[in-house]
Amino acid sequence: MPTNYSGTWDMTSNENFESYMVALGIDFATRKIANMLKPQKVIEQDGDSFIIKTFTTFKNYTVSFKIGEEFEEVTKALDNRKVQTVVNWDNDKLVCVQKGEKKNRGWTHWIEGDELYLEITCGDKVCKQIYKKSA
Ligand code: VL7
């Protein structure tokens, strides 16, 4: 049985988000706002089916996927690119690869205790975020 990521998770730390956004080509003004945000993730998991919602006061973003099934993701309201996305298990970690214009793009989630970890990568930049379970 895979780990269950379902729940509401509130960001408690965010390292190197600025560099990640620069790598994605996000403009200065948007980065200044985005760097102030404390996103909340609401994850709904049913076995290998996921909905990950990221909420902020500025923008929201939702992605839905099944493990191992590649799909076209449009990063709407973020960097607005089309990528071919697939998410797989690596033991209890969720490993996402986003193939497209930007090389080495993707993210990895894992859980330790009541904390949700997220590493988001673009090129040689890695942003490390931690979320605490709130519901
Ligand atoms: C998704 C943001 C920067 C634009 C707004 C910043 C606020 C919050 O990959 C991600 O999550 C995965 C794993 O949980 C599921 O989608 C991170 C946010 C990346 C990229 C672009 C700055 C504007 C964004 C909605």
CB 127 within 8 Å of CB 15: yes
Average pLDDT over every residue of 93-111: 98
Q: 120 in ligand 1 pocket by Cβ < 6 Å?
A: yes
Averaged over 36-41, what is the pLDDT?
A: 98
pLDDT digits (tens, 9 = 90+) for 50-95: 999 999 999 999 999 999 999 999 999 999 999 999 999 999 999 9
Cα of 75 to ligand 1 centre, how many Å?
8
What pLDDT band is residue 1 in, cutting at 50, 70 and 90?
low
ipTM of predicted complex: 0.97
- Indicate the pLDDT class of residue 3, thresholds 50, 70 and 90: confident
Question: Could you tell me if the CB of 4 is within 6 A of ligand 1?
Answer: no
Nearest CA to ligand 1 atom 5: 34
**What is the overall mean pLDDT for the chain?**
97
**Percentage above 70 pLDDT, the chain:** 99
CB 117 within 8 A of CB 15: no
At 2, the pLDDT band (50, 70, 90 cuts) reads confident
N- to C-terminal Cα separation, the chain:
22
Q: Taking the domains of the chain in order of start, what are their residue ranges?
A: 5-128
Q: Find out if CATH 2.40.110.10 is the number for domain 5-128.
A: no
Task: For ligand 1, pick from 61, 73, 76, 119 the residue to mutate: most ligand atoms within 8 Å of CB.
Answer: 61
| DSSP per residue, 12-35 | EEEESHHHHHHHHT--HHHHHHHT
DSSP sequence for 31-59: HHHHTT---EEEEEEETTEEEEEEE-SS-
